[in-house]
Amino acid sequence: MSKLEIRNLKVNAGDERILNGVNLQINPGEIHALMGPNGTGKSTLSETIMGNPLYEIVDGQIWLDGQDITEMSVDERARTAVFLAMQYPMEVAGISNADFIHAALNARNQGQPVAVLPFLKQLKANMEFLEINPEYADRGLNADFSGGEKKRNEILQMMMLRPEMAILDEIDSGLDIDALKIVAKGINAMRSTTFSCLMVTHYQRLLNYVVPDVVHIMMDGRIVKSGGPELATDLEKTGYAELEETLGSETSHGNSLE
Amino acid sequence: MDEVSTTQPGNFKDEWGPMDDVRPVFSTGVGINEETIQAISRAKHEPQWMLDLRLQAYQIYQSMPMPSFGPDLSEIDLNEIKYFQRATDRIARNWEDVPDEIKTTFERIGVPEAERKYLAGSAAQYESEAVYHNLKQDLESQGIIFMDTDSTLKQHPELVRQYFGKLIAASDNKFAALNTAVWSGGTFLYVPKNVHADVPIQSYFRINAGRTGQFERTLIIVDEGGSVNYVEGCTAPNYAEDSLHAAVVEVFVKKDAYCRYTTIQNWSTNVYSLETKRAQAEANSTMEWVDGNLGSKVTMKYPSIYLTGAGATGSMLSIAAAGANMHQDTGAKMIHLAPNTHSTIVSKAICHNGGRADYRGLIKYTKAAKRAKSHVECDTILMDQDSASDTFPVNDIETSDGTIEHEAHVSKISEAQLYYLKSRGLDEATASQLIIMGFLEPFTKQLPMEYAVELDRLIKFQMEDSIG
Ligand SMILES: Nc1ncnc2c1ncn2[C@@H]1O[C@H](COP(=O)(O)OP(=O)(O)O)[C@@H](O)[C@H]1O
Ligand SMILES: [Mg+2]
C-alpha cells in the first residue's frame, strides 16, 4: 500500500529549472494520468521520483507513506515500493531477461533467493498473458528489442516485481493498437487497493483502455489543471494550445499535440 | 595414468628413469648453458635430432634481442631462472606457505576443497584416475593420441619430428627459441582423419591442467575432416613460484578439419607469461582460438592463424582482465594466404585497480588472398581512472578485393545502464557485476559449463574492490 505525496517540487536538469513547484497526491489504489505537451517536465517528474541522479531537487519533498524518500538511493526506492517504466528503457546485452528479473526479485527479497522453478513458472505465465514470445526470456535484456517490445517488457517486469507504486512514462508510445491493448491489460491486471500508478501519456488513447481516477495536465513544469477522465477527452478535442490560452499561461514552448 | 601425468612434475620420476643419472642437471641450479641442455635431453632419453634442435635453438636464443615492443620486460633476469627443476623441488610447498589471497580466491570461486591443495602446488596428485581411465580408452579406440609431449616423443618420435617446430621456428622470437631449447611437458594431441572427438577433450582433466610447466610445448594435429574441441588451463589462480612461463603451441588443422582450442590462464601476479601460439588452417578448415587471460604480471600473447587453404576460416575470441600491477598485452594475427579466407577477432578487456590491457593485432592479406574478409572488434571497460587500455591494430593488405571491418570501444560502465538496473532494486555492486557479466557473455557462453561458472565467480570477486 503506497500513498505518494509530492510537495512544491522544484527540479533542475543540467542547471536549468524544469519543475517549478509540482504538487501531487496519489492515494493507494488510484491510477492517475499525467498529460502535457512535449518538453514540459513529465519525464523529469517521473525520473525524479525514481531518484535519477541527472535530476537535482532544488526544493520540495517526495513522501511515500509518510516517509520523505528524497534522500534514498535509487535501488532503495525500488526495493521500498517504486517502479518506473522508462520512456526509453536501456538495453543491456549479455544479461538474459529472465536472469535479470530473477536478480531483481532476489534483491527485493532481503537476501533470500527466490526459488527458480516457481519463478520461471510465474514468468512464463506473465509472458503468455502479455503475448511475449517465450524466447524473449533468454534474450539479452531489451537487446535489439523493438520500441514496442521494450514497452511490453517494462510491463512484464512490473508484473513480476509487483511494485506498490508504478510510474509508467509514455508506456503507450510506439505501440500499435493491438500492443496498446495488451499493455493496458497488463496495467489493469495490477489494479488493486494496494497498487497506485502514475501514467504519463501524451494521448487520450491509452486512457480508453485504462480509465484513470484522476487526470493532471502539466505545463511548463507545473500541474496546471486536474480533473476526472473527462479532462483528457476535452483536451483531445481542444488541444494543449487552447487550454494554455484559457489558463492564461505564459509559456512559449511545447504547445502542440504532436 | 602414465601419459598425461608427466605434465605434472610429481610423476616424472617414474617416467624419466633413475634420478641418479640426472643429478648434475639439478645441481646446475639457476641459469642455462649447453651442458644444461644436454643434460635435460639425456635425462629424457631423447633422439639426437631433438638434442640438435635444442642446441641450435639455444644459439639462436643467445643471439636474439628481447621484444622491442609492448610491456616492460626489463625486470626479468634470465640468468636467475631455474630452467629445469626436479619434481620434489616444486611440490615441497606447505599449504601454510600458499599466500592468503590465493586461498581466499579458491574459497570465493568455489574450488572444491580436494582440489585446492593440488592447485596451489602443495599436493602432488589429484585422484581422478577412474574418469581418466575411461576417457583414455574411449580416445584410444578412436585412434586419437592424447598424451604429454615428452611421452609422445618416446612413443611416436616420427610423428613429433614431422610437426615439431614446423609452424614456429626457434628463430621466431627470443622466447620461442628459449622454449625450443629447454622445453618440457605440454600436450600432444592427434586426431585422425574424419574422427570427431565430441567431448571437449581435457575438460575432464581440469585439475590436471591446472598445473602447467614453465616451458611447455604443445602440438595439436587435426587430420583431414576431423574435429576436436580442446580445453586447457584453469580459472582458479595458478600459484607459481617460477616467474617466467614461455610456452609454445603449434596447431595443424588439415583440409576440412575443425579445431577449437580454449585456454584459460590465471597465473599469480609474479609471473611473466610470454607465449607463442600459432595455427595453420588448410582448405575449408576452421581454427578457433578461445583465450582468457585473467592473471600474471605481464602477458604477451598474440595467437596467430595462417589461413593457407582456400575457404579456411579463423577466429579469435579473447578476454583479458587486468588488475593492480598487471599488464595484459594480447591480441591476434590473421594471415590470409589463400582465396576466400575469413577471419574474426573479438577481444574484450576489463581493467580495474590500475591494471592495463592492450590489444595488438595484425590482419594480413597476401596477393593470393582474393576476396578475403576480416572483422575485428575490441571492447574495453575501464573501471577506474588509474586503469588504461590501448589498441595497436595493423593491417597489411596486398589485395584490392578484400574487406576489413574494425571496431574499437573503450568505455566505463554505462551510468544509464547502472541506473536502469538499480531502478529495479539491484544495488550498485550487483548491478555493476551484472553489466560486466553481460559484457563478457560472448566469451563465457563459449566455455564448458564448469569453466563459465567459475569464471563468473572469479570476475565478480576480482571486481569487488573496484565496485565496492
Ligand atoms: N538530463 C537532462 N539534462 C538536461 N536537460 C534535460 C534533461 N532531461 C530533460 N531535460 C530538459 O527538461 C525539459 C523537460 O523534459 P522532459 O521532462 O523530458 O519533458 P516531457 O517528458 O514532458 O516531454 C526539456 O526541455 C528537456 O530538454
Ligand atoms: Mg517524456
Residue A129 touches chain B, beta carbons under 8 Å: no
CB spacing of A104 vs B441 below 8 angstroms: no
**How much distance in Å is there from the Cα of B43 to the middle of ligand 1?**
77
Beta bridge partners, B107, equal none
Which of B420, B446, B460 is best to mutate for the A interface (most A CBs within 10 A)? B420
The answer on pLDDT for A256 being more than 90 is no
Q: What is the pLDDT of residues B44-81, one digit of tens each?
A: 899 999 999 999 999 999 999 998 899 998 888 877 77
Neighbouring CB atoms inside 10 A of A211's CB total: 13
What average pLDDT does the structure give for chain A? 92
Residue B447 confidence (pLDDT)? 86
Cα–Cα nearest to A142, from B421, B346, B423: B421
pLDDT computed for residue B217 by the predictor: 93
A35-59: pLDDT as tens digits: 999 999 999 999 999 999 999 999 9
% of chain B beyond a pLDDT of 70? 77
Inform me whether the pLDDT recorded for B16 exceeds 60: no
pLDDT given for residue B22 in this prediction: 29
pTM here is 0.83
- Rounded to the nearest angstrom, the minimum Cα separation between A10 and chain B is 22
Question: Counting ligands in written order, which one lies closest to the CA of residue A14?
Answer: 1
Q: Residue A33: what pLDDT?
A: 98
Per-residue pLDDT, A151: 97
The lowest-confidence range among B8-17, B243-252, B317-326 is B8-17
Query: How many other C-beta atoms lie within 10 A of the C-beta of residue B20?
Result: 6
Q: Is the pLDDT of residue A150 over 70?
A: yes
The three three-digit cell numbers of residue B19, written as one number: 634420478
The letter for the amino acid at A190 is M
CA of A36 to the centre of ligand 2 (A): 9
Taking chain B, what is the end-to-end CA distance rounded to the nearest angstrom? 45
Contacts of A83 in chain B (CB under 8 A): 423-424
Beta bridge partners of B264: B233, B292
Would you place residue A97 in the very low, low, confident or very high pLDDT band (cuts 50, 70, 90)? very high
The pLDDT tens digits for B375-419 are: 999 999 999 899 999 999 999 999 999 999 999 999 999 999 999
Cβ neighbors of B397 (< 8 A, separation 6 or more) are B363, B364, B365, B404
Q: What is the pLDDT of residue B226?
A: 98
Task: Indicate the top mutation candidate among A35, A44, A172 to test ligand 1's pocket, ranked by most ligand atoms within 8 A of CB.
Answer: A44
State whether residue A255 sits within 8 Å of chain B by CB: no
Pairwise CB contact (< 8 Å): B420 & A73: no
Q: Residue A203 burial by CB count (10 A; 0-12/13-18/19+): exposed, middle or buried?
A: middle
Give the angle subtended at the CA of A79 by the CAs of A75 and A81, to the nearest 5°.
115
Hey, is the C-beta of A78 within 8 angstroms of any chain B C-beta? yes
Q: What is the DSSP string of B356-395?
A: EEEEEEEEEE-TT-TT-EEEEEEEEEE-STT-EEEEEEEE
Whether residues B424 and A93 touch (CB distance < 8 A) is answered with no
Residue A246 or A206, more confident: A206
CA of A43 to the centre of ligand 1 (A): 7
Q: Is A88 in the pocket of ligand 1 (CB under 6 A)?
A: no
Cβ neighbours around A169 below 10 Å, total: 23
Residue B125 pLDDT level (bands cut at 50, 70, 90): very low
Cell numbers that stand for A73 in this block: 538511493
Contact B201, B170 (CB under 8 A): no
Which residues, 6 or more positions from B176, have their beta carbon under 8 angstroms from its beta carbon? B168, B169, B170, B246, B248, B276
- C-alpha count within 13 angstroms, C-beta hemisphere, residue B432: 22
Phi, psi of A191 (to 5 degrees): -55, 125
Mean pLDDT, residues A82-86 taken together:
98
C-alpha cell at A177: 493498437
B428 neighbourhood in chain A, CB within 8 Å: 75
d(CA B6, CA A252): 82
For residues B352-379, one letter each, b for 16 or more C-beta atoms within 10 angstroms of the residue's C-beta and e for the rest, the string is: bbbbbbbbbbbbbbbeebbebbbbbbbb
pLDDT, mean of residues A116-127: 96
Q: Is the pLDDT of residue B209 over 60?
A: no
When pLDDT is cut at 50, 70 and 90, the band that residue A243 belongs to is confident
CA distance B39 to B26: 9
In chain A, % of residues over pLDDT 70: 95
Torsion-angle region of A144 (φ positive above 0: left; ψ -120 to 50: alpha; else: beta): left
Residues ≥6 apart with Cβ < 8 Å to B49: B161
Atom of ligand 1 nearest to the CA of A221: 14
Question: What is the residue-wise DSSP string for chain A?
Answer: ---EEEEEEEEEETTEEEEEEEEEEE-TT-EEEEE--TTSSHHHHHHHHHT-TTEEEEEEEEEETTEE-TTS-HHHHHHHTEEEE-SSPPPEEEEEHHHHHHHHHHHHTTT-PPPHHHHHHHHHHHHHHTT--GGGGTSEETTT--HHHHHHHHHHHHHHH--SEEEEESTTTT--HHHHHHHHHHHHHH-STT-EEEEE-S-SGGGGTS--SEEEEEETTEEEEEE-THHHHHHHHHHHHHHHHHHT----S-----
Instruction: Please judge whether B427 and A75 are an interchain contact, meaning their C-beta atoms are less than 8 angstroms apart.
Output: yes
ipTM, two decimals: 0.94
User: What pLDDT is attached to residue B241?
Assistant: 63
Cell (9 digits) for A236: 483531445
Chain A: residue nearest B439 by CA?
A94
What is the rounded average pLDDT for all residues in chain B?
A: 82
* A54 Cβ below 6 A of ligand 1: yes
Quote the CA–CA distance of B419 and A46 in Å, as a whole number: 14
Cα of A41 vs centre of ligand 2, distance in Å, is: 7
Mean pLDDT is lowest, of A31-40, A96-105, B263-272, for B263-272
Tell me the residues of chain A between 102 and 121 that have a Cβ less than 8 Å away from chain B.
Answer: 103-104, 107-108
Q: CATH number of the domain at A4-91+162-251, out of 2.10.109.10, 3.40.50.300, 3.30.420.40, 3.40.50.11540?
A: 3.40.50.300
Per-domain boundaries in chain A: 4-91+162-251
Distance CA B366, CA B402 (A): 10
What is the Å distance from ligand 2's center to B341 Cα?
Answer: 49
The reported pLDDT for the residue numbered B147 is: 84
Contact B220, B250 (CB under 8 A): yes
Coil, helix or strand at residue B233: strand
Q: What are the angstrom distances between the C-alpha of B397 and each of B207, B278, B302, B449? A: 43, 20, 19, 39
Residue B410: closest CA among B343, B334, B347, B342: B347
A13 Cβ closer than 6 Å to some ligand 1 atom: yes
Measured CA to CA, the distance from residue A207 to residue B173 in angstroms comes to 72
Spatial separation of the C-alpha atoms in residues A25 and A162, rounded to whole Å: 21
pLDDT the model gives residue A45 = 98
Using CB atoms, pick whichever of A53, A79, A93 lies closest to residue B425: A79
Arithmetic mean of pLDDT, B275-282: 97
pLDDT for position B133: 64
Sequential DSSP letters for B118-181: HHTTSSS----HHHHHHHHHHHHHTT-EEEEHHHHHHH-HHHHHHHTTSSS-GGG-HHHHHHHH
Residues of chain A contacting residue B417, judged by C-beta atoms under 8 Å apart: 90, 92
Residue A258, pLDDT above cutoff 60: no
Once rounded to an integer, what is the mean pLDDT over residues A212-241?
Answer: 92
Top-confidence range, B188-202, B275-289, B451-465: B275-289
